[in-house]
Protein backbone atom coordinates (compact mmCIF):
# COMPACT_ATOMS: atom_id res chain seq x y z
CA UNK A 1 0.00 0.00 0.00
CA UNK A 2 1.33 3.44 -0.91
CA UNK A 3 1.99 6.19 1.62
CA UNK A 4 -0.95 8.08 0.16
CA UNK A 5 -3.30 5.13 0.60
CA UNK A 6 -2.13 4.58 4.20
CA UNK A 7 -3.02 8.17 4.98
CA UNK A 8 -6.41 7.89 3.28
CA UNK A 9 -5.28 10.09 0.39
CA UNK A 10 -6.87 8.98 -2.87
CA UNK A 11 -4.78 10.04 -5.87
CA UNK A 12 -6.90 10.03 -9.00
CA UNK A 13 -4.20 10.93 -11.56
CA UNK A 14 -0.72 9.46 -11.99
CA UNK A 15 1.71 11.49 -14.09
CA UNK A 16 4.88 9.67 -15.08
CA UNK A 17 7.61 12.22 -15.72
CA UNK A 18 5.48 14.62 -13.72
CA UNK A 19 8.44 16.68 -12.49
CA UNK A 20 9.24 17.70 -16.06
CA UNK A 21 8.02 20.80 -17.85
CA UNK A 22 4.70 19.48 -19.16
CA UNK A 23 4.09 17.34 -16.09
CA UNK A 24 4.48 20.15 -13.58
CA UNK A 25 2.08 22.38 -15.52
CA UNK A 26 -0.49 19.59 -15.76
CA UNK A 27 -0.10 18.68 -12.10
CA UNK A 28 -0.46 22.30 -10.98
CA UNK A 29 -3.66 22.62 -13.01
CA UNK A 30 -5.17 19.44 -11.58
CA UNK A 31 -4.15 20.28 -8.02
CA UNK A 32 -5.55 23.81 -8.30
CA UNK A 33 -8.85 22.21 -9.29
CA UNK A 34 -8.96 20.07 -6.17
CA UNK A 35 -7.71 16.76 -7.57
CA UNK A 36 -5.11 14.58 -5.94
CA UNK A 37 -2.08 13.80 -8.06
CA UNK A 38 0.69 11.22 -7.84
CA UNK A 39 3.96 11.92 -9.66
CA UNK A 40 6.49 9.27 -10.59
CA UNK A 41 9.77 10.75 -11.80
CA UNK A 42 13.43 9.77 -11.74
CA UNK A 43 14.57 13.43 -11.42
CA UNK A 44 17.28 12.98 -14.06
CA UNK A 45 16.46 16.10 -16.10
CA UNK A 46 17.76 19.54 -15.21
CA UNK A 47 15.11 21.54 -13.38
CA UNK A 48 13.03 18.54 -12.30
CA UNK A 49 14.05 18.77 -8.65
CA UNK A 50 13.09 22.43 -8.57
CA UNK A 51 9.78 21.68 -10.27
CA UNK A 52 8.77 19.00 -7.77
CA UNK A 53 9.84 21.21 -4.85
CA UNK A 54 7.64 24.01 -6.22
CA UNK A 55 4.65 21.66 -6.43
CA UNK A 56 5.22 20.34 -2.94
CA UNK A 57 5.45 23.85 -1.50
CA UNK A 58 2.22 24.94 -3.11
CA UNK A 59 0.16 21.73 -2.88
CA UNK A 60 1.75 19.68 -0.11
CA UNK A 61 -1.50 18.04 1.01
CA UNK A 62 -2.61 16.79 -2.39
CA UNK A 63 0.54 15.75 -4.26
CA UNK A 64 2.19 12.36 -3.74
CA UNK A 65 5.72 12.01 -5.12
CA UNK A 66 7.53 8.77 -5.95
CA UNK A 67 11.14 8.98 -7.09
CA UNK A 68 11.40 6.06 -9.48
CA UNK A 69 12.07 5.11 -13.09
CA UNK A 70 9.57 3.70 -15.60
CA UNK A 71 12.07 0.90 -16.19
CA UNK A 72 11.18 -0.38 -12.70
CA UNK A 73 8.02 -2.56 -12.99
CA UNK A 74 7.61 -2.94 -9.24
CA UNK A 75 7.61 0.82 -8.67
CA UNK A 76 5.04 1.26 -11.42
CA UNK A 77 2.82 -1.44 -9.98
CA UNK A 78 2.81 0.29 -6.59
CA UNK A 79 2.22 3.67 -8.20
CA UNK A 80 -1.05 2.43 -9.77
CA UNK A 81 -2.70 2.05 -6.37
CA UNK A 82 -6.02 3.97 -6.35
CA UNK A 83 -5.29 5.63 -9.71
CA UNK A 84 -8.10 6.38 -12.17
CA UNK A 85 -6.11 8.07 -14.96
CA UNK A 86 -2.49 7.91 -16.14
CA UNK A 87 -0.72 10.54 -18.22
CA UNK A 88 2.49 8.92 -19.41
CA UNK A 89 5.06 11.67 -20.08
CA UNK A 90 8.27 10.02 -18.86
CA UNK A 91 10.68 9.69 -21.77
CA UNK A 92 14.11 10.15 -23.26
CA UNK A 93 13.30 13.21 -25.34
CA UNK A 94 16.25 14.08 -27.59
CA UNK A 95 17.04 12.78 -31.07
CA UNK A 96 20.74 13.45 -30.48
CA UNK A 97 20.81 11.37 -27.30
CA UNK A 98 19.10 8.51 -29.12
CA UNK A 99 21.82 8.55 -31.77
CA UNK A 100 24.57 8.44 -29.14
CA UNK A 101 22.91 5.77 -26.97
CA UNK A 102 20.06 3.98 -28.78
CA UNK A 103 19.87 1.21 -26.17
CA UNK A 104 19.13 3.68 -23.38
CA UNK A 105 16.63 5.45 -25.62
CA UNK A 106 14.82 2.16 -26.30
CA UNK A 107 14.87 1.11 -22.65
CA UNK A 108 13.22 4.31 -21.48
CA UNK A 109 10.81 5.01 -24.32
CA UNK A 110 9.74 1.60 -25.62
CA UNK A 111 10.41 -0.80 -22.75
CA UNK A 112 9.43 1.82 -20.16
CA UNK A 113 6.11 2.38 -21.91
CA UNK A 114 5.47 -1.36 -22.05
CA UNK A 115 6.09 -1.47 -18.29
CA UNK A 116 3.54 1.30 -17.79
CA UNK A 117 0.97 -0.50 -19.95
CA UNK A 118 1.47 -3.76 -18.09
CA UNK A 119 1.08 -2.01 -14.74
CA UNK A 120 -2.16 -0.44 -16.02
CA UNK A 121 -3.42 -3.78 -17.38
CA UNK A 122 -2.73 -5.62 -14.13
CA UNK A 123 -4.25 -2.98 -11.85
CA UNK A 124 -7.44 -4.17 -10.09
CA UNK A 125 -9.38 -1.43 -11.88
CA UNK A 126 -7.41 -0.47 -14.98
CA UNK A 127 -7.01 3.31 -15.25
CA UNK A 128 -7.21 5.15 -18.56
CA UNK A 129 -3.95 6.28 -20.17
CA UNK A 130 -2.82 9.16 -22.37
CA UNK A 131 0.60 8.75 -23.98
CA UNK A 132 2.65 11.61 -25.42
CA UNK A 133 4.30 10.67 -28.69
CA UNK A 134 5.97 12.95 -31.25
CA UNK A 135 5.68 14.22 -34.80
CA UNK A 136 8.96 12.40 -35.45
CA UNK A 137 6.92 9.26 -36.11
CA UNK A 138 6.24 10.81 -39.54
CA UNK A 139 9.96 10.81 -40.35
CA UNK A 140 11.97 13.50 -42.08
CA UNK A 141 9.14 14.32 -44.55
CA UNK A 142 11.67 14.33 -47.40
CA UNK A 143 8.87 13.89 -49.95
CA UNK A 144 7.11 17.05 -48.77
CA UNK A 145 8.06 19.63 -51.38
CA UNK A 146 8.72 23.08 -49.92
CA UNK A 147 9.85 26.45 -51.21
CA UNK A 148 11.41 29.45 -49.53
CA UNK A 149 9.22 32.39 -48.64
CA UNK A 150 11.21 35.05 -46.82
CA UNK A 151 12.54 33.60 -43.57
CA UNK A 152 10.61 30.33 -43.76
CA UNK A 153 9.85 27.23 -45.79
CA UNK A 154 6.28 26.76 -47.02
CA UNK A 155 4.77 23.58 -48.54
CA UNK A 156 4.05 23.43 -52.25
CA UNK A 157 0.84 21.44 -51.62
CA UNK A 158 -1.97 23.90 -50.89
CA UNK A 159 -3.85 21.58 -48.51
CA UNK A 160 -0.78 21.07 -46.31
CA UNK A 161 -0.08 24.79 -46.46
CA UNK A 162 -3.62 25.55 -45.24
CA UNK A 163 -4.14 22.78 -42.69
CA UNK A 164 -0.84 21.07 -41.87
CA UNK A 165 -0.10 17.34 -41.74
CA UNK A 166 -2.87 15.03 -40.57
CA UNK A 167 -2.95 11.53 -39.10
CA UNK A 168 -3.43 9.89 -42.51
CA UNK A 169 0.24 10.58 -43.18
CA UNK A 170 2.17 7.30 -43.40
CA UNK A 171 4.35 6.53 -40.39
CA UNK A 172 8.08 6.57 -41.12
CA UNK A 173 10.05 6.22 -37.90
CA UNK A 174 13.29 8.19 -38.31
CA UNK A 175 16.21 8.09 -35.85
CA UNK A 176 16.32 5.76 -32.83
CA UNK A 177 14.17 8.30 -30.99
CA UNK A 178 11.50 8.15 -33.69
CA UNK A 179 11.65 4.36 -33.57
CA UNK A 180 11.35 4.09 -29.80
CA UNK A 181 8.49 6.59 -29.52
CA UNK A 182 6.78 5.11 -32.56
CA UNK A 183 7.01 1.59 -31.18
CA UNK A 184 5.72 2.81 -27.82
CA UNK A 185 2.69 4.56 -29.30
CA UNK A 186 1.79 1.47 -31.34
CA UNK A 187 1.83 -0.60 -28.14
CA UNK A 188 -0.41 2.00 -26.49
CA UNK A 189 -2.91 1.81 -29.35
CA UNK A 190 -2.76 -1.99 -29.51
CA UNK A 191 -3.38 -2.40 -25.78
CA UNK A 192 -6.70 -0.68 -26.41
CA UNK A 193 -7.46 -3.13 -29.21
CA UNK A 194 -6.04 -6.31 -27.65
CA UNK A 195 -6.83 -5.80 -23.98
CA UNK A 196 -9.64 -3.26 -23.97
CA UNK A 197 -7.65 -0.59 -22.14
CA UNK A 198 -8.79 3.01 -22.56
CA UNK A 199 -5.78 4.65 -24.20
CA UNK A 200 -5.08 7.61 -26.45
CA UNK A 201 -1.94 8.97 -28.11
CA UNK A 202 -0.89 12.59 -28.63
CA UNK A 203 1.59 13.07 -31.47
CA UNK A 204 2.89 16.36 -30.18
CA UNK A 205 4.59 19.22 -31.94
CA UNK A 206 6.68 21.83 -30.12
CA UNK A 207 5.36 22.61 -26.63
CA UNK A 208 6.66 25.62 -24.71
CA UNK A 209 5.87 27.71 -21.63
CA UNK A 210 6.72 28.30 -17.96
CA UNK A 211 8.77 25.70 -16.06
CA UNK A 212 10.55 24.69 -19.28
CA UNK A 213 14.29 24.30 -18.68
CA UNK A 214 15.05 23.77 -22.36
CA UNK A 215 18.36 22.92 -23.96
CA UNK A 216 19.68 22.66 -27.50
CA UNK A 217 18.15 19.23 -28.10
CA UNK A 218 14.72 19.56 -26.54
CA UNK A 219 12.70 22.56 -25.48
CA UNK A 220 14.26 24.70 -28.20
CA UNK A 221 11.85 27.64 -27.77
CA UNK A 222 12.88 28.05 -24.12
CA UNK A 223 16.53 27.53 -25.01
CA UNK A 224 16.47 30.29 -27.63
CA UNK A 225 14.62 32.65 -25.29
CA UNK A 226 17.04 31.95 -22.45
CA UNK A 227 20.07 32.56 -24.67
CA UNK A 228 18.55 35.79 -25.99
CA UNK A 229 17.79 37.05 -22.48
CA UNK A 230 21.38 36.28 -21.42
CA UNK A 231 22.84 38.01 -24.48
CA UNK A 232 24.63 34.83 -25.54
CA UNK A 233 25.16 33.63 -29.14
CA UNK A 234 22.72 31.02 -30.49
CA UNK A 235 23.86 28.13 -32.69
CA UNK A 236 21.37 26.94 -35.30
CA UNK A 237 21.54 23.71 -37.27
CA UNK A 238 20.48 24.20 -40.88
CA UNK A 239 19.53 27.62 -42.21
CA UNK A 240 17.03 28.62 -39.51
CA UNK A 241 14.12 28.72 -41.96
CA UNK A 242 12.65 25.41 -40.79
CA UNK A 243 9.07 25.85 -39.56
CA UNK A 244 7.19 24.34 -36.62
CA UNK A 245 3.82 24.90 -35.08
CA UNK A 246 4.30 25.73 -31.42
CA UNK A 247 1.76 25.10 -28.67
CA UNK A 248 1.64 26.91 -25.35
CA UNK A 249 1.53 24.47 -22.47
CA UNK A 250 -1.79 25.76 -21.08
CA UNK A 251 -3.46 24.72 -24.34
CA UNK A 252 -1.89 21.27 -24.10
CA UNK A 253 -3.21 20.93 -20.54
CA UNK A 254 -6.67 21.74 -21.89
CA UNK A 255 -6.27 18.94 -24.45
CA UNK A 256 -5.31 16.50 -21.68
CA UNK A 257 -8.39 17.52 -19.70
CA UNK A 258 -10.77 17.02 -22.60
CA UNK A 259 -9.28 13.63 -23.47
CA UNK A 260 -9.25 12.32 -19.92
CA UNK A 261 -12.89 13.27 -19.36
CA UNK A 262 -14.00 11.74 -22.67
CA UNK A 263 -11.60 8.80 -22.88
CA UNK A 264 -14.28 6.17 -23.55
CA UNK A 265 -15.14 7.88 -26.84
CA UNK A 266 -11.57 8.80 -27.80
CA UNK A 267 -9.87 5.55 -26.84
CA UNK A 268 -7.75 3.71 -29.37
CA UNK A 269 -6.89 6.79 -31.43
CA UNK A 270 -3.82 8.87 -32.14
CA UNK A 271 -4.16 12.64 -32.50
CA UNK A 272 -1.81 15.30 -33.82
CA UNK A 273 -1.55 17.97 -31.14
CA UNK A 274 0.17 21.29 -31.82
CA UNK A 275 -0.41 24.95 -32.46
CA UNK A 276 -1.59 24.31 -36.01
CA UNK A 277 -1.29 26.68 -38.99
CA UNK A 278 -2.29 29.66 -36.82
CA UNK A 279 0.75 29.28 -34.57
CA UNK A 280 3.72 28.62 -36.81
CA UNK A 281 7.18 30.11 -36.57
CA UNK A 282 10.60 29.55 -38.12
CA UNK A 283 13.73 29.78 -36.00
CA UNK A 284 14.73 33.03 -37.70
CA UNK A 285 11.27 34.50 -37.17
CA UNK A 286 11.35 33.66 -33.47
CA UNK A 287 14.78 35.25 -33.14
CA UNK A 288 13.58 38.36 -34.97
CA UNK A 289 10.60 38.58 -32.60
CA UNK A 290 12.99 38.41 -29.64
CA UNK A 291 15.26 41.08 -31.15
CA UNK A 292 12.28 43.42 -31.39
CA UNK A 293 10.94 42.50 -27.96
CA UNK A 294 14.30 42.89 -26.18
CA UNK A 295 15.52 45.82 -28.30
CA UNK A 296 19.00 44.41 -28.85
CA UNK A 297 20.90 42.30 -31.40
CA UNK A 298 21.20 38.52 -31.06
CA UNK A 299 24.31 36.80 -32.42
CA UNK A 300 23.71 33.69 -34.54
CA UNK A 301 26.05 30.88 -35.48
CA UNK A 302 25.17 28.21 -38.04
CA UNK A 303 26.06 24.54 -38.37
CA UNK A 304 25.07 21.63 -40.63
CA UNK A 305 21.57 20.09 -40.70
CA UNK A 306 21.00 17.25 -38.25
CA UNK A 307 19.71 13.73 -38.87
CA UNK A 308 15.92 13.63 -39.23
CA UNK A 309 15.38 17.39 -39.06
CA UNK A 310 12.21 18.37 -40.89
CA UNK A 311 12.23 21.58 -42.91
CA UNK A 312 8.49 21.91 -42.32
CA UNK A 313 6.16 20.32 -39.81
CA UNK A 314 2.82 21.78 -38.83
CA UNK A 315 0.10 19.73 -37.13
CA UNK A 316 -3.34 19.37 -38.62
CA UNK A 317 -5.35 19.11 -35.40
CA UNK A 318 -8.69 18.92 -37.18
CA UNK A 319 -9.49 15.37 -36.03
CA UNK A 320 -9.07 16.25 -32.37
CA UNK A 321 -10.90 19.57 -32.75
CA UNK A 322 -13.88 17.92 -34.42
CA UNK A 323 -14.22 15.36 -31.63
CA UNK A 324 -13.60 17.61 -28.62
CA UNK A 325 -14.10 21.25 -29.62
CA UNK A 326 -10.51 21.97 -28.55
CA UNK A 327 -8.34 24.56 -30.24
CA UNK A 328 -5.09 26.34 -29.51
CA UNK A 329 -5.92 29.71 -27.96
CA UNK A 330 -2.51 31.21 -27.11
CA UNK A 331 -0.85 33.10 -29.95
CA UNK A 332 2.91 32.84 -30.42
CA UNK A 333 3.73 36.42 -29.41
CA UNK A 334 1.60 36.13 -26.27
CA UNK A 335 3.10 32.77 -25.29
CA UNK A 336 6.70 33.83 -25.89
CA UNK A 337 6.16 36.94 -23.77
CA UNK A 338 4.82 34.76 -20.93
CA UNK A 339 7.84 32.46 -21.26
CA UNK A 340 10.20 35.46 -21.20
CA UNK A 341 8.54 36.72 -18.02
CA UNK A 342 8.88 33.34 -16.31
CA UNK A 343 12.50 32.83 -17.39
CA UNK A 344 13.43 36.33 -16.25
CA UNK A 345 12.15 35.45 -12.79
CA UNK A 346 13.34 31.85 -12.60
CA UNK A 347 16.87 32.49 -13.87
CA UNK A 348 17.59 34.35 -10.65
CA UNK A 349 17.74 30.79 -9.25
CA UNK A 350 19.00 28.65 -12.17
CA UNK A 351 18.19 24.96 -12.32
CA UNK A 352 21.08 22.64 -11.44
CA UNK A 353 22.60 20.80 -14.40
CA UNK A 354 23.00 17.04 -14.12
CA UNK A 355 25.71 15.19 -15.98
CA UNK A 356 24.61 13.56 -19.24
CA UNK A 357 26.18 11.00 -21.52
CA UNK A 358 26.66 13.50 -24.32
CA UNK A 359 27.66 17.04 -25.09
CA UNK A 360 24.97 19.41 -26.33
CA UNK A 361 25.27 21.62 -29.36
CA UNK A 362 22.92 23.81 -31.45
CA UNK A 363 19.28 24.18 -32.42
CA UNK A 364 17.69 22.26 -35.26
CA UNK A 365 14.01 22.70 -34.39
CA UNK A 366 13.36 19.24 -32.94
CA UNK A 367 9.76 18.03 -32.83
pLDDT at 11: 63
Q: What is the mean pLDDT of residues 160-183?
A: 96
According to DSSP, the β-strands at 206-208 and 269-273 are unpaired
Q: How far apart are CA 126 and CA 264, in angstroms?
A: 13
Give the chain's domains with CATH numbers: 11-346 (3.40.50.720)
Q: Which residues contact 348 (CB under 8 A, 6 or more apart)?
A: none
Q: Has residue 290 got a pLDDT over 70?
A: yes
Q: Has residue 358 got a pLDDT over 90?
A: no
Q: Has residue 190 got a pLDDT over 50?
A: yes
- Active site includes 153? no
Terminal C-alpha separation, the chain: 39
Q: What is the mean pLDDT of residues 254-264?
A: 97
Q: Is 110 in a helix, a strand, or coil?
A: helix
Give CA separation, 121 vs 14, 126, 259, 290, in Å: 15, 6, 19, 47
Q: Is 353 in a helix, a strand, or coil?
A: coil
In 3D space, the residue among 75, 102, 107 whose CA is nearest the CA of residue 91 turns out to be: 107
pLDDT at 306: 81
Q: Has residue 365 got a pLDDT over 60?
A: no
CB 109 within 8 A of CB 184: yes
For residue 280, what pLDDT band results from cuts at 50, 70 and 90? Answer: very high
Output the pTM of the full model. 0.91
Most confident of 42-56, 118-132, 342-356: 118-132
Considering 138, 153, 177, 208, which one is annotated as catalytic?
Answer: 177
Query: For the sheet containing 128-134, what is the strand order?
Result: 63-67, 37-41, 13-16, 85-88, 128-134, 199-204, 269-273
Q: What is the pLDDT of residues 37-69, one digit of tens each?
A: 999 999 988 889 999 999 999 987 789 999 999
CB 367 within 8 A of CB 275: no
To 10 degrees, the CA torsion angle through 170, 172, 178, 180?
Answer: 90
Amino acid sequence: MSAAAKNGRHCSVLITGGAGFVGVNLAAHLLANGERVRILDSLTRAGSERNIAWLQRNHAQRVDFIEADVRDPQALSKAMDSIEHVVHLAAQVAVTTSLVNPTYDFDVNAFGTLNVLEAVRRAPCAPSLIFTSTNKVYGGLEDLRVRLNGQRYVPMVSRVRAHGIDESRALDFHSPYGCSKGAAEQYVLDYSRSYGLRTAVFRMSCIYGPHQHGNEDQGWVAHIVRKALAGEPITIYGDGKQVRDVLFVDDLVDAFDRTRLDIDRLSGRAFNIGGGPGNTVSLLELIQQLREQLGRPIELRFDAWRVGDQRYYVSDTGRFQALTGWRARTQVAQGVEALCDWLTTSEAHPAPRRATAMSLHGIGAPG
